[in-house]
Structure 1
Amino acid sequence: MAGFRRLAFGLRPELRALARTNVRPSPRRTPDPGGPGRNGFPRTSRTRGPGRGQDLGRGIGPPMKIFERIVTVLGFITLAILLWKFDAAVVWAQVSKVGWGFLIILPMQLCDHVLNAVGWRYAFSASDASRIPFRQLVRIRVAGDGVNYLTPSGTIAGEIIRPGMLADHIPAEARNSSVVVAKFAQALGQAFFALAGMLVLLPLRLGFLPGRQIINGLAGALLLMLVAAASLSALLVRRRDGSYWLRLSGTVASLREQMGRYLRCYPGRFALSAFFFMLGFAWGAWEVLVICFFLGVPMDPITALSVEVLSVVLDSLLFMVPAKVGTQEAGKTAIFAGLGLPAGQGLAFGLVRHIRELVWAGTGFLIYAWDRRRRAARASAVLPPLPAEPAARAD
Structure 2
Amino acid sequence: MGSTLRLHVRSLARLPLALLVGACILAGLTLCWGAGDILRAVEAAGWGVGLIVIARYIQVLASGLAWRAVLDAAIAWWVCPILRWVREAINVLLPVAQVGGDIVGARLLSRRGVKASVATASVLADLLVQVATQLVFSLLGLFLFWSKSGDTRLVLWLAGGVGLLAIGVTGFLAVQRWGGIAWIEERIGGLMMRNGWTMPGGIAGLSGSLRHIHAAPGRLALAAAIHMAIWIFGASEVWIACWFMGHPVDFSAALVVESLSHAARAVFFVIPGGLGIQEGAIVALAATYGLSPQTAVAIGLLKRIPDIILGILGLAIWQSIELGWLRAGRA
Structure 1 position 340, deviation (Å): 4.2
Residues 124, 199 of structure 1: alpha-carbon distance in 2 compared, 3 angstrom cutoff: same
Alignment partners' CA distance in 2, 1:91 and 1:363: 27
Partner of 1:256: 207
Structure number with higher helix proportion: 2
Which runs of 5 or more structure 1 residues have no equivalent in the other structure? 1-12, 18-69, 239-243, 382-395
Residues 246, 235 of structure 1: alpha-carbon distance in 2 compared, 3 angstrom cutoff: farther
Alignment partners' CA distance in 1, 2:276 and 2:162: 27
- Partner-residue secondary structure (3-state), 1:122: helix
Equivalent residue in structure 2 for 1:230, among 163, 174, 186: 174
Equivalent residue in structure 1 for 2:130, among 186, 190, 194: 186
Equivalent residue in structure 1 for 2:61, among 114, 118, 134: 114
Q: Indicate whether 1:170 and 2:114 are aligned.
A: yes
Q: Deviations over 1:304-350 (max 9, x none)?
A: 11101211111112222224433343443333235442111112111
Equivalent residue in structure 1 for 2:95, among 133, 152, 172: 152
Which stretch shifts more, 357-366 or 162-171?
A: 162-171
Partner of 1:123: 70
Partner of 2:246: 296
Equivalent residue in structure 1 for 2:231, among 281, 284, 299: 281
Alignment partners' CA distance in 2, 1:327 and 1:220: 15
- Matched positions, count: 295
Partner of 1:313: 263
Residues 236, 270 of structure 1: alpha-carbon distance in 2 compared, 3 angstrom cutoff: farther
Residues 165, 245 of structure 1: alpha-carbon distance in 2 compared, 3 angstrom cutoff: closer
Alignment partners' CA distance in 2, 1:236 and 1:273: 23
Alignment partners' CA distance in 1, 2:184 and 2:97: 27
Which structure has more relative contact order (CA 8 Å, sep 6+)? It is 2
- Partner-residue secondary structure (3-state), 2:78: helix
Residues 208, 340 of structure 1: alpha-carbon distance in 2 compared, 3 angstrom cutoff: farther
Structure 1 position 121, deviation (Å): 0.9
Residues 280, 255 of structure 1: alpha-carbon distance in 2 compared, 3 angstrom cutoff: same
Q: Deviations over 1:30-54 (max 9, x none)?
A: xxxxxxxxxxxxxxxxxxxxxxxxx
Residues 313, 219 of structure 1: alpha-carbon distance in 2 compared, 3 angstrom cutoff: closer
For residues 349-368 of structure 1, the aligned pairs below 5 Å read 349-368=299-318
Residues 323, 211 of structure 1: alpha-carbon distance in 2 compared, 3 angstrom cutoff: closer
Residues 259, 272 of structure 1: alpha-carbon distance in 2 compared, 3 angstrom cutoff: same
Contact 2:175-2:181 at 8 Å conserved across structures = no
Q: Indicate whether 1:271 and 2:218 are aligned.
A: no
Contact 1:115-1:279 at 8 Å conserved across structures = no
Alignment partners' CA distance in 2, 1:207 and 1:178: 41
Alignment partners' CA distance in 1, 2:309 and 2:271: 18
With the length of structure 2 as denominator, give the TM-score of the two structures: 0.77
Alignment partners' CA distance in 1, 2:280 and 2:236: 21
Contact 1:149-1:361 at 8 Å conserved across structures = yes
- Partner-residue secondary structure (3-state), 1:231: helix
Contact 1:149-1:322 at 8 Å conserved across structures = yes
Partner of 1:379: 329
- Partner-residue secondary structure (3-state), 2:179: helix
Alignment partners' CA distance in 2, 1:219 and 1:161: 30
Structure 1 position 289, deviation (Å): 0.7
The code of the aligned residue for 1:342 comes to S
With the length of structure 1 as denominator, give the TM-score of the two structures: 0.65
User: Which structure has the larger Rg over C-alpha atoms?
Assistant: 1
Residues 298, 284 of structure 1: alpha-carbon distance in 2 compared, 3 angstrom cutoff: same
Which runs of 5 or more structure 2 residues have no equivalent in the other structure? 190-198
Alignment partners' CA distance in 2, 1:294 and 1:335: 19
Partner of 1:100: 47
Structure 1 position 278, deviation (Å): 2.6
Residues 200, 228 of structure 1: alpha-carbon distance in 2 compared, 3 angstrom cutoff: farther
Structure 1 position 90, deviation (Å): 8.2
Contact 1:191-1:224 at 8 Å conserved across structures = no
The code of the aligned residue for 1:102 comes to V
Alignment partners' CA distance in 1, 2:76 and 2:153: 45
Structure 1 position 271, deviation (Å): 2.6
Residues 359, 347 of structure 1: alpha-carbon distance in 2 compared, 3 angstrom cutoff: same
Aligned CA-pair RMSD:
3.4
